[in-house]
Amino acid sequence: MKRAFVFPGQGSQTVGMGQELAAAFPVAAQVFEEVDDALGQNLTKLMYEGPMEDLTLTENTQPALMAVSVAVARVLESEGKFKLSEISEFVAGHSLGEYSALTAVGSLQLADTARLLKIRGRAMQQAVPVGVGAMAALLGMDIGPVEELVKEAAEASGDDGVCVAANDNADGQVVLSGNKEAVERAIELAKEKGVRKAMLLPVSAPFHCPLMQPAADAMVEALSSVTIAPPTVPLVANVTADQVSDPEIIRKLLVEQVTGRVRWRESVLYMGNQEIEQLVEVGTGKVLTAMVRRINKAMTGTAVQSPADIEAFLQTL
């Protein structure tokens, strides 16, 4: 069976994440310890105990989710006595999940990734004053009509009218991002056009839109001093929905990703066109697994996060 490993993004965090994994597998605990050392912060305690409001701060959420994903990947390799590259054709990650994916296949070093995501999370949080930006989910409307909708909403909002399709997640599931006024206008327009559901999301900043340019600039600087090796299997990149292995192109795409659209639906379709039959979601939650069948009914999704999940998955190989 041809498979790809995929890595979740922000929104999958929960208090207690990683605790059962670290208790069962020393290799997982070692990942968390290395991340704590790299950050000079007891992130592990925050992951295990909360409080949720601190864990949800973007600068904590991003390295925490990455740590759990990489821990699961390393446990799979340790228990299965293989490398991910030996049993997969591609890796991909949703937004910050790209950093997890690249770390899992040796393109980035764990300590570097932890520091990069701390910088990325803080820069994204600080790029736009609280209350200026917003994000919204549209359910029941595909990307084509959404692109017309956001253009109309932006034009109606004048000079402050930034409104874009930030995440093309699945058929009928698109996330908008931009100035609060323009995004609220888009919600009203969507309702007028009969969208099934349109709602503001409880996020702290408008991710993956042009308002994030200060954060993209910060990542240019942060990534410039980090070694990026060719991944052992290609990455299917968010902003291109195509495979990439060249380190310098990966560096460029990680910057573009901050302001660019997460083309997840297209990425999954691309992998399907490359005869991938199974997407294995590595880390906290089952968000990406739930999307698989909505995008490609011939593909299966498997979420691997707990010791029981790891055992069950290894038995299928």
Cα gap 56→180, rounded to integer Å? 21
Give yes or no for a contact between 168 and 264, defined as CB atoms under 8 angstroms apart.
Answer: yes
User: How do residues 304-314 score in pLDDT, each as one tens digit?
Assistant: 999 999 999 99
Q: What is the pLDDT of residue 160?
A: 72
Cα gap 64→114, rounded to integer Å? 8
The reply to whether 159 and 119 lie within a common domain is no
CATH code, 266: 3.40.366.10
Q: What is the pLDDT of residue 266?
A: 98
Tell whether the model's pLDDT for residue 245 goes beyond 90.
yes
Taking phi first (over 0 means left), then psi (-120 to 50 degrees means alpha), and beta for anything else, what does residue 95 get?
A: left
Q: What is the pLDDT of residue 204?
A: 81
Give yes or no for a contact between 43 and 113, defined as CB atoms under 8 angstroms apart.
Answer: no
Give yes or no for a contact between 199 and 205, defined as CB atoms under 8 angstroms apart.
Answer: no
**How many percent of the chain have pLDDT more than 90?**
95
- CA neighbor of 69 nearest in space, from 4, 11, 121, 9: 9
Give 159 or 312, the one with higher predicted confidence. Answer: 312
Q: What is the pLDDT of residue 201?
A: 92
Cα–Cα distances (Å) from 247 to 30, 226, 250, in that order, read 27, 11, 5
**How many percent of the chain have pLDDT more than 70?**
100
Q: Which domain holds residue 171?
A: 133-203
Q: Tell me the sheet residues that pair with 173.
A: 139, 170
User: How do residues 183-215 score in pLDDT, each as one tens digit?
Assistant: 999 999 999 999 999 999 988 889 999 999 999
Cα gap 62→30, rounded to integer Å? 18
What pLDDT band is residue 233 in, cutting at 50, 70 and 90?
A: very high
Cα gap 169→272, rounded to integer Å? 15
The reply to whether 26 and 91 lie within a common domain is yes
- Positions annotated as catalytic residues are 95, 208
Tell whether the model's pLDDT for residue 159 goes beyond 80.
no
- Domains held by the chain: number: 2
What pLDDT band is residue 158 in, cutting at 50, 70 and 90?
A: confident
The reply to whether 109 and 247 lie within a common domain is yes
The reply to whether 184 and 254 lie within a common domain is no
Give yes or no for a contact between 10 and 64, defined as CB atoms under 8 angstroms apart.
Answer: no
The reply to whether 121 and 164 lie within a common domain is no
The reply to whether 12 and 52 lie within a common domain is yes
State whether the Cα torsion 83-88-92-94 is positive or negative. Answer: negative
Tell whether the model's pLDDT for residue 161 goes beyond 90.
no
The reply to whether 118 and 11 lie within a common domain is yes
User: How do residues 34-87 score in pLDDT, each as one tens digit?
Assistant: 999 999 999 999 999 999 999 999 999 999 999 999 999 999 999 999 999 999
At 67 the three-state DSSP class reads: helix
